[in-house]
Structure 1
Amino acid sequence: MRSLILILSSAAAIWGQAFEVVSVRPANPTARGSSFEFLPGGKLVAVNVSVRDLLKKAYRIRDFQIANAPAGLDSPWYDVTANAASPVGEGEMQGMLQSLLADRFQLKLRRESKELQVYILTVAKNGPKLNEVAPAAGGAVRIRGVGRLAGLKGSMDQLASALSDVRLNGSAILDRPVVNRTGLNGVYDFSLEWTPEMGVDAADRPGPSIFTAMREQLGLSLEKRNAPVEIFAIEHLEKPSQN
């Protein structure tokens, strides 16, 4: 494993990117389920979540990318609300959440690189089938339900993240991270529909697999390979400071 020497509290904290108002409180012990939302206008609302959940959302990573998990990462659970000083997009709020973790939980991370199995996202043989649009704030790629996602001024990095992102219920579209190597640097409007496998034989599926759908609908390809994956080793974590 190759390790970066630099210890990072948060890149966002270094650049002064932070929520204006933050509340971190113990979750209701009788609460069931969890939720996490980046809301329009620059508001974060997380209910009954662990520090692990916040960390994964802040850096868009999965469980296997977290190393040296200390006590306090998975319990207790918290309700977190935060507001930006002015309207910002989801990408900016992710950076602000990184600052929140560094400030309120004194989280310090060491980034490392480890060779793992991944999917490489590339342009398919016949070229991309994407509608390139002018860049604008707030561009994103979002899951729209089972077997559906859409990009609205979304980048290929955002598509790769969405394909390998994990919801709070533990589900993910793919079983390994996706690395963007398309070479496409614009932003695009697109939609993708496929039939999740869910243990069903290919011959019995009513629609295409995600691999076929990516190729036919977007002109993109997913290929299994070994590649370096960023690992986040936790150096320090404390209970949250008072509001």
Structure 2
Amino acid sequence: MRHFASVLFLACAMTHTSAPAQTPSFEVATIKPVDPAPKAGRFMRVEGTHRFVARNYTLRLLIAAAYDLNPRTISGGQGWVDTDKYEIQAVTPGETAPDHDAQMLMLRSLLAERFHLAFHRESKIFAIYEITVAKGGPKLAPSLTPEAPPQTVSVVYPDKMVMPARNATIGDLARVMQRAILDRPVVDRTGLTNRYNFNLEWAPDETQFSGDVPPPEESQSPPLLLAMRQQLGLQMTAVKGPVDTIVIDRAHKPTAN
């Protein structure tokens, strides 16, 4: 990921370890180092009911996923935090597949137990994207099954990206945008609280997906900010604002399996 934005320190908060007491944990997990060269794709998902897999992740990216943050808002740690890549395979407890929030709580426990992660939080001023309702109002279809778990994924095509979202809040959209797509934090200021179904289609540029997805040479799809306005009725504006960040106090390379 790119980490070149400058930030201004605002204030310190209390110190934390990676996972509070009684946080759900994986039943068993293996962590293996992988080739650091960018040869394979990066993904994190549950396969079947109980198999959690994260592939090609650095520790900084794992922390970003576990705590729903943009990787640029995580600082501190030694050089290997950004260079060493890992594959995690774990077994989740229970009779059903865990939802996203439960998966991330288990990942937090893993970071504390196997990477010995400890950190504190600070509020800093960052360049961010702010999502608001565009002129003319939102163009969003309310979900007919809001009790179902949200699904927000990105599908790569040669000439475009497509994000089919189901039962998703705008907060869910903002978290996906800042974790995996954009190079800065994203803040939802729409005031919209419902769950929605939508398809977002756009032509990515070199600032998105950490440069891992090359921009298409030709595309009939609009750039992301225009696609947000045209397809969702949402405005995404570059501004500066306070963001909750994590500062790594301690991290060790993972213990043996």
TM bracket (short chain): 0.7 to 0.9
Residue 17 of structure 1 aligns with which residue? 24
Q: Displacement, 1:58?
A: 1.7
Change (3 A) 1:113 1:190: same
Q: Secondary structure at the match of 2:176?
A: helix
CA RMSD between the two structures: 2.6
Task: Give CA deviations for 1:33-71 in whole Å, capped at 9, x if unaligned.
Answer: 353321243432133433223222222333321211224
Q: Secondary structure at the match of 2:40?
A: coil
Measured in 1, the distance between the counterparts of 2:168 and 2:68 equals 16
Q: Secondary structure at the match of 1:136?
A: coil
Q: Normalized against structure 2, the TM-score is what?
A: 0.79
Q: Secondary structure at the match of 2:93?
A: coil
The answer to whether the 8 Å contact 1:3/1:111 transfers is: no
Q: Pick from 231, 235, 243 the counterpart of residue 245 of structure 2.
A: 231
Structure 2: unaligned runs, 5 residues or longer? 1-8, 208-217
Q: How does 1:12-161 map to 2 (within 5 A)?
A: 13-27=20-34, 32-33=39-40, 35-40=42-47, 41-86=49-94, 87-133=97-143, 134-145=145-156, 146-161=160-175
Measured in 1, the distance between the counterparts of 2:13 and 2:223 equals 41
Q: Displacement, 1:123?
A: 1.2
Measured in 1, the distance between the counterparts of 2:179 and 2:237 equals 17
Measured in 2, the distance between the counterparts of 1:182 and 1:32 equals 38
Q: Secondary structure at the match of 1:101?
A: helix
Change (3 A) 1:207 1:137: closer
Q: Secondary structure at the match of 1:128?
A: coil
Q: Displacement, 1:152?
A: 1.0
Q: Does 1:240 align with 2:240?
A: no
Measured in 2, the distance between the counterparts of 1:106 and 1:158 equals 29
Q: Does 1:218 align with 2:232?
A: yes
Structure 1: unaligned runs, 5 residues or longer? 167-171
- The letter of the residue matching 1:165 is R
